[in-house]
Amino acid sequence: MLKMSFEHRHKVLLASFAEALTLEDLARYDEEVRSFVASRTDVVRGILDFSAIGEILVTSDQVAGRGQRPQVNAGRQRVYVAPTPEMYGLCRMFAAYQGFQGFPEASIVRTMPEACALLAIDEPAFESVPS
């Protein structure tokens, strides 16, 4: 399941994944981010929060394949919140493949407070983005 939110003051789009992480959720994320950034004239940074993932239904090969594709919001700062060792490893692998392709790698942290600190977001006020 995927929920999108936006923090207007700091221009940060938050993608919160929950329950099982699937290829369908990742494809939906791509579509929603493309649509959102196309409607804006400002720079939008991103947080992908995997804290509420209970089951990972994507393989490392699928993650590697996605990492070799062009970025959806090219060149923008991204932070992945990956609290579990398995999710952290998949995020790290994805970031490395992005780097091999010449794209900026995302930062990976364990908690949302760490993500907010890295993006200098004080007192975040995320509001839901309609899908």
pLDDT of residue 72: 84
SS3 for 70? coil
Q: In which band, very low, low, confident or very high, does the pLDDT at 13 lie, cut at 50, 70 and 90?
A: very high
Task: Dump pLDDT digits (tens) for 58-84.
Answer: 999 999 999 999 888 877 899 999 999
Query: How many residues appear in the chain?
Result: 131
Cβ neighbours of residue 117 closer than 8 Å, sequence gap 6 or more: none
Q: Tokens 């004239």 map to which residue?
A: 41
90-127 tens-digit pLDDT: 999 999 999 999 999 999 999 999 999 999 999 999 99
The span from the CA of 119 to the CA of 84, in Å, is: 21
Angle at 51 between CA 47 and CA 57, to 5 degrees: 100
Q: pTM score, two decimals? A: 0.93
Q: Which domains does the chain have, with CATH numbers?
A: 2-128 (3.30.750.24)
